[in-house]
Amino acid sequence: MRTAPTILHLDMDAFYASVEQAAKPSLRGKAVIVGGLGPRGVVATASYEARVLGVHSAMPMAQARRLAPNAAYLVPRFGIYRRISEQVMSLLRGLSPLVEPLSLDEAFVDLEAGEAAWDEESARLTGVQLRADIRAVTGLTGSVGLAASKMLAKIASEQAKPDGLVLIRPGTERALLGPMPVRTLPGVGPATGDHLRRAGITTIDEIAEAGEDELVRLLGKAHGQALYAMALAHDERPVVAEREAKSVSVEDTYDVDIHDRLRIGLEVQRLADRCVRRLRDAGLSGRTIVLKVRRYDFSTLTRSETLRGPTDDPAVVREAAARLLEPVDTTGGVRLLGVGVSGLADYTQEDLFAQAHLAAGEATTDERPEAEEPLAEEPAASPERVWLAGHDVRHAEYGPGWVQGSGLGRVTVRFETPQSEPGRVRTFSVDDPQLEPADPLPLVPDVPGIAGRPAPAGTGT
């Protein structure tokens, strides 16, 4: 492990909800919940005002509505989230060639590799400047952790939330980690945490005291050895620049175990459609279909089937997932289901046939599954002009705004922009010809000359 805190972990604060608050002046300082608004919807992100009320990500939307009935409930706008994410990642790449994104709003950076930092002082100054640049470019806040390893940098950024910076000095790691609960360590989920608790191990100090042999006996060789090393603050994992995706997958965890076999089958079909949508959004296809089932006792089964050629056909993926589910015993209940596709390629077998048809002058169509889940891409407006809550519109007379709600043939729009005061609300017929979907407006004006900012002067060469 290095001797200077030159690994940085950035985590944007309540990212989706913060974007929505920045874009919509009337929602600033209020509880905002982003996710699927249908009966199967789950929370993607909740603003800090909503978290105070007990709402958190992955919570069923129905439960969130009970906890926060007066919150604003919005459908995700992944286009703008990706655009802002790329702005943030561009700032990180200006610091180092070694940037490892974990999601749209989270990444590791090796500051030493980019000569942006080499000791505690330069690391802290770089972290402070990065947070200022992110605010200037996006209008949003991010929390920064700095440490000598990836594990500790991530723990530091969690401590920094929201809108802060925490630096863990090398040599202080063991004292810092010791009193923390075992769930702080990566890879310790509810099942492992409960298993350790039953063995009388609840803190990281107690993991270290138990010793490697006892952890191997409790958890198996690989998991036990890794957990013991982390408890001693040993983490040699390097920051790895962006890698090509090896698989695409989606999964859902259920608050209440599912016992009904019919519903389990329907959930698998829905997950297959979501997975295919992500495949197509990435311009990929795959040969191997994977089904993941975690049962009531936390035992996890993974089954796979390899096709003759790559596909992004939702019917093919659904049928393969259904076949994989058939022999799985789910009588005791299911806690989690997942569907994935691996063996990725940038073409499909169907593409080859389509090219042959086009060469022969035949027409082809591309029928994609409609979105059924909150974390899938927002669907295009149908001929019936479905207006999704939170999405952008423009009215020929009143200008830009966003959908506050719709139903019974009416759509309610609040007319405001990121730079305006909170706007007025007006209601229209859903087929009003003067009202059209619109592209999101930028949260802040362009700020030139920030990406690639040189390292702080006077702190090194």
What residues are annotated to the active site? 106
Strand 106-110 to 7-12 pairing: antiparallel
Distance CA 2, CA 305 (A): 43
Residue pair 153/100 in contact by the 8 Å Cβ criterion:
no
Q: Are 275 and 322 in contact (CB under 8 A)?
A: no
Q: How far is 450 from 94, CA to CA, in rounded Å? A: 9
H or E stretch covering 294:
strand 285-295
For helices 190-198 and 212-219, the axis angle rounded to 10 degrees is: 120
Contacts of 175 (CB under 8 A, 6+ apart): none
Q: CA 290, CA 348: separation in Å to the nearest integer?
A: 18
Spatial strand order in the sheet of 72-74: 43-46, 32-35, 72-74
What is the rounded distance in angstroms from the CA atom of residue 229 to the CA atom of residue 83? 38
Question: Distance between alpha carbon 373 and the CA centroid of its chain, in Å?
Answer: 14
Kindly give the interhelix angle for 261-281 and 314-325, rounded to the nearest 10 degrees: 140
CA distances 365 to 127, 176, 346, 358, Å, are: 50, 59, 19, 11
Phi, psi of 331 (to 5 degrees): -65, -30
Closest CA to 374 of 103, 35, 17, 46: 35
Hey, what are 459's tokens? 């702190």
Please say whether the beta carbons of 83 and 444 come within 8 A. no
Task: Find tokens 């060639």 and name the residue.
Answer: 97
DSSP string, 1-23: --SS--EEEEEETTHHHHHHHHH
In this structure, which long-range contacts are made by residues 92-98, counting pairs with CB atoms below 8 Å and at least 24 apart in sequence? 92/10, 92/130, 93/451, 94/450, 94/451, 94/452, 94/453, 95/8, 95/126, 95/130, 96/239, 97/241, 98/238, 98/239, 98/240, 98/241
Q: Indicate the pairing of strand 247-258 with strand 142-147.
A: unpaired
121 to 1, 23, 95, 96, 125: CA distances (angstroms): 19, 35, 16, 17, 6
